Amino acid sequence: MGILRDFCDYLPRFLQGKLTTLRSIQSALSCGANYCSKGNSVKLKRILTTLTTAALITSAVALSPSANAQEEGETKLGLNALTNVLDVAEYQFDSNLADFDILTYLALDVMGAKPKSAVWALADGNVKMTAFLPTDRAFKKLVKALTGTSYVRERKIYLAVRALGVDTVENVLLYHVVLGAPILSEAAVAANGADLTTAEGSTIRVAFDGTTLKLRDKDTKRVNPNVILTRVDINEGNNQVAHPINGVLLPRLN
């Protein structure tokens, strides 16, 4: 029960404003995740993860470095992080395969298991990036391609992806993030043929044929994802923007 006691010590101190570093917030999330990994109840896991995630969201802007170093004449972008857009304090499995519940669960798994993971950048609104967000339906298609089973429930889809291991999931998530000035949809369409270097280290290629914006990954066995053009430019006006995609981008996996 020592891990649970550690977590219960962290949370009141956060609520009282006594956790003053991002590292301490990360430790709180890790404690919650570690306790749940010992085989404790799913209900308790949800409570612990939601509470620590709320701490993460609240602290991300307050604890991150100043973003005042804008070039003269450059439009100052907002600091709303993508974790706020994903609404990680309210995520839950449901029947809506068009949202990002599975992605949110996977990101929190990585953040809980790896406090130093670059996935944490999703919670820091000072870090400029463009993220391509696979929908729940995209993960369903991936699991069907990998296992031959078409799951109906989001939780089963999530568990099938999670079974790939935290390191693989981390690499896949980072392969959906392009660091640097946010790329809005108009610029993405104009970048036909360009290679974008991802936070995972390898590239994805932009391909626009006049109607469809496709992202070509390193997987040669499955169909490349398309950007869902009716839902682009999520979080526009901030350092971090996102575009939903209908498939999961895959780097070269070992």
CA distance 30 to 4: 11
Q: Which amino acid is at 124?
A: D
Q: How many domains does the chain have?
A: 2
Domain for residue 41, yes or no?
Answer: yes
HSE-CB for 136 with a 13 A CA cutoff: 24
103 and 191 in a single domain? The answer is: yes
Domain for residue 147, yes or no?
Answer: yes
Query: Going edge to edge, which strands form the sheet with 203-208?
Result: 195-197, 203-208, 213-216
**Do 250 and 218 touch, CB atoms closer than 8 A?**
yes
What are 66-120's pLDDT values in tens digits? 444 445 556 799 999 999 888 766 678 999 999 999 999 999 999 999 999 999 9
132 and 26 in a single domain? The answer is: no
40 and 123 in a single domain? The answer is: no
Is the pLDDT higher at 183 or at 88? 183
Domain for residue 109, yes or no?
Answer: yes
- Give the end of a domain, one of 11, 33, 63: 63
Tell whether the model's pLDDT for residue 185 goes beyond 50.
Answer: yes
48 and 146 in a single domain? The answer is: no
Q: pLDDT value at position 26?
A: 54
Determine the average pLDDT of the residues in 63-68. 44
What are 211-236's pLDDT values in tens digits? 999 999 999 888 999 999 999 999 99
